[in-house]
Chains A and B, each alone.
Chain A
Amino acid sequence: MAAVETATKVSGINGGKVMDVLTKVPVKEQDAKIRATNFDEVCLGYELEEAIAEATRCINCKNAHCIEGCPVSINIPGFIQKIVEGDIEAAYQIISESSALPAVCGRVCPQETQCEGVCIRGIKGDPVSIGKLERFVADWACKQGIRPEGAKEKKGKSVAVIGSGPAGLTCAGDLAKMGYDVTIFEALHEVGGVLVYGIPEFRLPKEEVVAKEIENVKSLGVKIETNVVVGKSVTIDELLNEEGFSAVFIGSGAGLPKFMGIPGENANGVFSANEYLTRANLMKSFDENSPTPIMRGGKVAVIGGGNVAMDAARTALRMGSEVHIVYRRSEEELPARVEEIHHAKEEGIIFDLLTNPTEILVDENGWVRGMKCVRMELGEPDESGRRRPVVKEGSEFVMEVDAVIMSLGTSPNPLISSTTEGLEINKWQCIVADEELGRTSKEGVFAGGDAVIGAATVILAMGAGKAAARGIDEYLSNK
């Protein structure tokens, strides 16, 4: 496409004015008041001309920091230049070389601390909206039915991948592209791991986005068997010795919820964020016709300040509840992405910061009736570098609530490690694996993602899945 044409379109969306190169092209979102009552996606994404306009802001650095900032090293300036040229299909193939799930990453990656965090444009003005551009390209390719390119030659060796979340799908996709015969084993009835049970529909649509990305991985020849709980239905040793797999990748995530250990925590109406989100997302309880029930309405306290806490809070809001985020540190320390906090506030979530529950109060029928809390203040920095919250003397008070959702983080499920001899784990139940190639203490067994590093992000899990695919290829090539 000619540059002149592009420029015309660019000026077009700015009402004929010359575009301000320091400011990113804003992305359309559903109005906060309306979206607080539905489960449709919040961010609506760029149109073609908006994407091209934003793409022209990229200065195509020779030494592109953004590539280093990306856990899967996408050739970011490369695909952005293709958008500028109007060749979206080429842009998609460039992204696909590095990422199996671009439509997912464009939506849920913390770009502000990765690619966009190191973008040169960001020194003076807004960084290029790399995430929104990635999303645009992936959505466009999906609509056009364009698929990633598969392997030319088969290797004749089989690899088992445990878990169909971001780590497993990425590892499987990369291995399939290299020519391996890959089977994914998924414990749940649905494929996608945290993408389907954890992240809500309004952030990551399941049918239009997740299912399509999974179809792309399948189109590379990857087989998927659901309802197989490795460690229970079959062991890793059986996969290697009886079912003919030459290597195994463990991408089983961090699925075990944590509770606070305070009195009253087993009361009716206290849920782990995992349970609440799994009901809403995987079991589709947000739809009243789903046979799986969920608590609706009332006043809900979500304990914690991470992305999962924001997801649970925003889900509860959409189920008709008044929602409070209760977090023991201050706003500055909230671990959630800035965008999520911003969206949550816009939608009407109330933030009770520097507040910590000490007891769940229970009525005579076993239901939550309130929560005893204390106010906190920040003291000296602790080992994490964040200022340690300390209890304010005499600050105890009761918050009346009908339900409490515990969102305090998760740890890896011991089902696999406890049934696999010779697989080393650390004191946090995480599988020990090297970062470079995902090798574990057991020959032929590789691991990555939350199962190794504990609860983290989709993109870090994908990076680990990629590394392990390289590790498995190296291992099987030398075998």
Chain B
Amino acid sequence: MYKIIRAEKLTENIYLMDVEAPRVAKKCEPGQFIIVRVDENGERIPLTICDYYRGRGTITIVFQIVGAETLRMADLKAGDSFHDFVGPLGCPSELVHEAKESLQAKKILFVAGGVGTAPVYPQVKWLHEKGVQADVIVGAKTKDLLILEKEMEAVAGNLYVTTDDGSYGRKGMVTNTIQELVDAGNTYDLCVAIGPMIMMKFVSILTKELNIPTIVSLNPIMVDGTGMCGACRVTVGDQIKFACVDGPEFDGHLVNFDEAMKRQQIYKTAEGRAFLKEKEGNTHHGGCGNCN
């Protein structure tokens, strides 16, 4: 069992938890992920690591309610435990392997979208600790869905917040802000974009035009997370990669996003039914397409 030390609701449907997992906390690096299970019947849910405290042996995870299982996770409180918590999985961010001097000479732009702000944070923090100030764009649908703003502010060089509806910070998509920054004369050697698949797709299209090498972090469907099932396969250039062991980070200019987005839909109907069943319980009143 893996004890939850802290559980916080960040916004309407995004939650943050610190979980005791000493083996993971000892070994993890920015860019890696874990898999968690609520209870002995739970589904394996992959989540990118948001932060870690080696001394305390804890990992910070941030998740959004997207289905029945994350809804059940959101019910857990500090003091409760996860049945399973395994990691660190996947490869660390490539930045981790680069020399400090070479990193300091680089101008890096991070682009975070929605709950994707969580996995961007440890990378920016890690660079900050190495004396590298990176620019960060955080995008959210609306003000109420913005997360980790203060935390990000503390470690970012320049922080640009943008909301789709203009309810906070700039108005518009993250791609608008990228274009504006470049138009204003900023140059970047590297862009790291993490967020919804559709955002990463459009960021990659733009940065290709702008000639900025771009890394994205994919979160496809997976079961074991160790290379066994192949559910997370993704086309990168002319190669087929498994996001769980070859990724989760890939060259955004080579990822076939359209295929990846379709693959995310495989179990949509089944997941939707499960979500309604969990949320509405005995009060379920139809509409799921599978009941009488």
A residues near B, CB below 8 A?
187-189, 197, 226-229, 232-234, 255-257, 259, 265-266, 268-269, 271-272, 274-275, 278-279, 282-284, 289-293, 365-366, 413, 415
Least CB distance, A420 to chain B, in whole angstroms: 15
Nearest 7 pairs of A and B residues by beta carbon: A366-B262, A275-B229, A293-B270, A227-B86, A293-B267, A189-B84, A255-B228
Judged by DSSP, the binding face of A is loop
Could you tell me which residues of chain B, from 248 to 284, have a CB within 8 Å of some CB in chain A?
A: 259, 262-263, 265-267, 270-271, 274
B85: A residues at CB distance < 8 A: 227
Asked whether B201 is an interface residue with its Cβ less than 8 Å from the other chain, the reply is no
User: Nearest chain-A residue to B267 (Cβ)?
Assistant: A293
If A266-B235, A275-B231 touch, whether A188 touches B224 (CB-CB below 8 Å) is yes
Give 27 pairs: A residue, B residue, CB < 8 Å, sorted on A. A187-B86, A187-B226, A189-B44, A189-B86, A228-B86, A229-B86, A232-B88, A232-B226, A233-B23, A233-B24, A233-B86, A255-B224, A255-B227, A256-B227, A256-B228, A266-B233, A266-B240, A266-B259, A268-B265, A271-B231, A291-B68, A292-B44, A293-B270, A365-B265, A366-B259, A366-B263, A366-B265
By the criterion CB–CB under 8 Å, are A274 and B87 in contact? no
In the bound complex, CA of A74 to CA of B84 (Å): 37
By the criterion CB–CB under 8 Å, are A278 and B223 in contact? yes
Could you tell me which residues of chain B, from 68 to 126, have a CB within 8 Å of some CB in chain A?
A: 68-69, 83-89
Which of B43, B86, B226, B233 interacts with A292 by CB under 8 Å? B43
By the criterion CB–CB under 8 Å, are A415 and B23 in contact? no
Asked whether B131 is an interface residue with its Cβ less than 8 Å from the other chain, the reply is no
- What are the interface flags for B10-24 relative to A under an 8 Å C-beta threshold, 1 for contact and 0 otherwise? 000000000000011
In the bound complex, CA of A228 to CA of B22 (Å): 11
Q: A187-B224, A227-B86, A366-B259 are in contact. List 16 more A-B contacts (CB 8 A).
A: A189-B44, A197-B228, A232-B226, A233-B86, A234-B23, A255-B224, A257-B228, A257-B229, A265-B240, A272-B230, A284-B41, A291-B41, A291-B42, A293-B267, A366-B263, A415-B227
A415: B residues at CB distance < 8 A: 226-227, 245
Which of B87, B263, B265 interacts with A232 by CB under 8 Å? B87
By the criterion CB–CB under 8 Å, are B43 and A291 in contact? yes
If A290-B41, A291-B41 touch, whether A283 touches B88 (CB-CB below 8 Å) is no
Least CB distance, B250 to chain A, in whole angstroms: 15
In the bound complex, CA of A278 to CA of B221 (Å): 14
User: Nearest chain-B residue to A289 (Cβ)?
Assistant: B41
> Number of contact residues on B: which range applies?
35 or more
By the criterion CB–CB under 8 Å, are A232 and B27 in contact? yes
If A268-B263, A275-B223 touch, whether A291 touches B87 (CB-CB below 8 Å) is no
In the bound complex, CA of A125 to CA of B107 (Å): 79
In the bound complex, CA of A291 to CA of B73 (Å): 13
In the bound complex, CA of A265 to CA of B235 (Å): 11
- What are the interface flags for B179-219 relative to A under an 8 Å C-beta threshold, 1 for contact and 0 otherwise? 00000000000000000000000000000000000000000
In the bound complex, CA of A271 to CA of B263 (Å): 11
In the bound complex, CA of A415 to CA of B84 (Å): 20
Least CB distance, A320 to chain B, in whole angstroms: 14
B23: A residues at CB distance < 8 A: 228, 233-234
By the criterion CB–CB under 8 Å, are B228 and A233 in contact? no
In the bound complex, CA of A271 to CA of B267 (Å): 13
If A259-B240, A283-B223 touch, whether A268 touches B266 (CB-CB below 8 Å) is yes
A255: B residues at CB distance < 8 A: 224, 226-228
In the bound complex, CA of A232 to CA of B86 (Å): 10
By the criterion CB–CB under 8 Å, are A257 and B230 in contact? yes
User: Nearest chain-B residue to A413 (Cβ)?
Assistant: B227
A233: B residues at CB distance < 8 A: 23-24, 27, 86-88
A274: B residues at CB distance < 8 A: 228-230
User: Nearest chain-B residue to A284 (Cβ)?
Assistant: B41
In the bound complex, CA of A453 to CA of B84 (Å): 31
A278: B residues at CB distance < 8 A: 223-224, 228-229
User: Nearest chain-A residue to B273 (Cβ)?
Assistant: A293
User: Nearest chain-A residue to B90 (Cβ)?
Assistant: A232
B259: A residues at CB distance < 8 A: 266, 366
In the bound complex, CA of A292 to CA of B41 (Å): 9
